[in-house]
Amino acid sequence: MAIRYWEGGTANPNQTNWATTTNWSADTVPVNDDIIIFDGRGSTVSGSEGTIYDCLANIARGDTGGDTYDLIHVKATYTGNIGTMWEPLHCAADMVIFEGTGNMYLEVSAADNETDSDIDQVIMNTGSGSLFLSSDVNSGADTAEITEVLAVQGTLRIRRRCNVANLRISPVNDSASNVVVTIDPECQDAKASTFMNIYMHNGTLTCDSKINTFEMHNGTTTFTRELETIAFSQVADTHEPVVGDTLTGATSGATGTIVGIEVLGGTGWASADMYGFIYLDSVVGAFQDEQGQDGDATNVGWLLSECGFDSGAVEPTFEQAIRETGDTGRATHFFHVLTSGDYTANDAAGFYYMNVTAGDFDNNVNIRDNATDTDDLGDVNEATTERADTLALADLDIIALRLHGGTFNWNPDEDLAFIQDMWAFGGTLDASSATVNNLHTRRLGTAATDELYMFAGSTLKLGNGYGVVDTDTAQLHYFGGTLNFGPNTTINVAYHEKPVT
C-alpha cells in the first residue's frame, strides 16, 4: 500500500490524465490497495506550478474499472472536478470520501461489464460541491453496488439505475438546507430484485425510485413521478442541452422542460457522439422520431424510440441499420441497455434505442441486420411505433415507511402506487394531490395483513378531490393524530383508541 497524491500539470493534452505517471506524486499511478488523495497541492511540473487540475481522462471501465483502492479522499482544499457525466471515475474502492468544492462523478465498476463489483462506503461532506453516483452495470446477471452512502453536507444525485443498498441522510448541524439529494428512476439491485433503504434525519430529498424501508425523522421528502424521460443521440449536432430550457420536437412541436440529462456514453458534446436520456417535466404533445431542439431552436440530437428485446445473440453497433424480419420495420440503432443475460450466451435482453425509418416493430418478431438479413439481434418483446414515446418507468412504491417527523409529500404520478406498511409516529404524510393532473389512485396497504399504524403527533392528509387514496383490504390501527379527509378518500379503521373524526 502506498499513498498517491494527484498533482496534474503534465504538458498538454495530458494534464488531466489519470494514467500519466507525472500527474501523481512519486511519478507513480495508483494501483490496487493504494490510498489516493486529492488535496489541491497543485502541479510540481515546471511552468504549471501550483495550478489545481481536473482529473478527467483514462478513468473509464477499461482503465480504472475494478481497481480496489483502499481509499479515495477528495479534500476540501481540492477545487477541481473529477470525471464528467459521460466519463465518471470508474473503480471498486473500499471507501470514497468527498469533501471537494467541485463536481465528482463516481461510478462503481468492475474491469468489465460482466462481473459484480462494489464500493463499501461513500461519504459526502462538502460545503459547495456536488457528487454524482452511478453503477456501470445493473442487470439480472450482474450488478455494481454501493453498499452505503452517508450524506452529511452537499448536493448528491444518485443517477438512473444506480444500485445503492443503504442511503443515510444526516445533515451537519441537523439543518435541512445542508443536504439536498435527488434519486433518479429505477435505482435498485436489479440482480437480486431488492430496493434501496433510506434513513433520513433531516435534509431535502426528491425520490423517483421504489424504496424498501424508508425511515424519516425530519426534513422534506417529495416522492413523486411527474418526470418523463426520452432517449436521444447526437448525430451531427454539437450543442449541449441545458437544464431549464424547453425541449421542442422539430416536427411534432411537442414540448417539455429539461430537468435532467443522463449521458450513457460518448466523448463530449463537441464530438457529436453523446447519447442517453433527457428528463422532462410538463410535457405537452407527443414527440416523434425527430430532431430535438433546445431553447433557441438549436438541434441537440435525435429523439429515439424504445424497443424491448430478448434472446439476443449478436450485439448491434452504433448507427447499425436493422430490420424486422419478414415485415416492414426498419430502423437505425444508436444504443442499447441490457437488463439481463449476455450476447455470448444468446440470452441478452433489454432495450434498443433507435430511429425508426419505416414501418413499425411487432412483438415476437426477430431483429436482424438490414443489409444482410443475418445476425440474430434478438426478438421484439415490446412493440414500438414511429413515435419516440416518453418512456414508462418502474413502479414507484414503498415497502415500509417509518415516519417520525418532517413532511413526506406522496404524489406518485401512476395508478396504484402503494405504501405497503406504515408506522406514523410523527410528521405529516401528505397525499392530498395538490395538482389537478394527478388523478391516480394510491394505496396505503395492499393486503389485509399489512400493518398501518398511526400515533399521536402524526398527520395524514388524504385526498382533496384530485386523486383517490384507499386502503384496499388493509386496515388502519389508529392510536391518535390528525386525519385530514377529502373527496374520493376511503379508509378502513380496524382499531381506534380515540374517536376518529
Q: Are residues 46 and 92 in the same domain?
A: yes
220 within a domain of the structure (yes/no): no
Domain boundary among 331, 357, 392: 392
Give me the sign of the Cα torsion angle 453, 454, 459, 463: positive
Decide: residue 364, CB within 10 A, 0-12 exposed, 13-18 middle, 19+ buried.
exposed
219 within a domain of the structure (yes/no): no
Q: Are residues 376 and 406 in the same domain?
A: no
168 within a domain of the structure (yes/no): yes
Give me the sign of the Cα torsion angle 452, 454, 460, 462: positive
Q: In this predicted structure, what is the pLDDT of residue 394?
A: 56
Q: In this predicted structure, what is the pLDDT of residue 385?
A: 44
Q: Are residues 197 and 307 in the same domain?
A: no
Give yes or no for a contact between 140 and 340, defined as CB atoms under 8 angstroms apart.
yes
How many whole angstroms separate alpha carbon 128 and alpha carbon 106?
A: 17
Tally of domains in the chain: 3
Per-residue pLDDT reduced to its tens digit, 110-169: 988 778 999 999 999 998 999 999 998 877 778 899 999 999 999 999 988 899 999 999
For 205, what's the count of Cα atoms within 13 Å in the CB-facing half-sphere? 32
The residue among 303, 280, 288 whose CA lies nearest residue 231 is 303
Give yes or no for a contact between 270 and 262, defined as CB atoms under 8 angstroms apart.
no
478 within a domain of the structure (yes/no): yes
Q: Which amino acid is at 10?
A: T
Which H or E run includes 65?
Answer: none
211 within a domain of the structure (yes/no): no
Q: Which amino acid is at 383?
A: A
Q: Are residues 15 and 139 in the same domain?
A: yes
326 within a domain of the structure (yes/no): yes
Q: Which domain holds residue 417?
A: 398-496
Per-residue pLDDT reduced to its tens digit, 384-402: 444 444 444 556 789 999 9
Domain boundary among 347, 372, 392: 392
Q: Are residues 378 and 434 in the same domain?
A: no
How many whole angstroms separate alpha carbon 75 and alpha carbon 131?
A: 13
Domain boundary among 360, 392, 424: 392
How many whole angstroms separate alpha carbon 302 and alpha carbon 280?
A: 15
Name the residue with higher pLDDT: 190 or 26. Answer: 26
Q: Which amino acid is at 376?
A: D
Q: In this predicted structure, what is the pLDDT of residue 172?
A: 93
Is the per-residue pLDDT at 53 higher than 60?
yes
Strands annotated E in 113-183: 117-135, 144-158, 163-169, 179-183
Q: Are residues 201 and 236 in the same domain?
A: no
Q: In this predicted structure, what is the pLDDT of residue 220?
A: 95
Per-residue pLDDT reduced to its tens digit, 193-244: 899 999 999 999 999 888 999 999 999 998 876 567 788 888 777 888 888 8
Q: In this predicted structure, what is the pLDDT of residue 436?
A: 43
Check residue 140 and report its DSSP letter.
S
Q: Are residues 327 and 186 in the same domain?
A: no
Q: Are residues 47 and 124 in the same domain?
A: yes
Give yes or no for a contact between 80 and 40, defined as CB atoms under 8 angstroms apart.
yes
Q: Are residues 245 and 114 in the same domain?
A: no
216 within a domain of the structure (yes/no): no
Retrieve residue 357's grid coordinates. Answer: 425509418
At residue 60, the 3 state secondary structure works out as coil
Q: In this predicted structure, what is the pLDDT of residue 227?
A: 65
Q: Which amino acid is at 356?
A: V
425 within a domain of the structure (yes/no): yes
Q: Are residues 324 and 419 in the same domain?
A: no
Report whether the peptide linkage leading into residue 88 is cis, meaning its omega lies within 30 degrees of zero.
Answer: no
**Mean pLDDT, all residues of the chain:** 85
Q: Are residues 174 and 49 in the same domain?
A: yes
Q: Are residues 325 and 430 in the same domain?
A: no
Would you give the end-to-end CA distance of the chain in angstroms?
A: 66
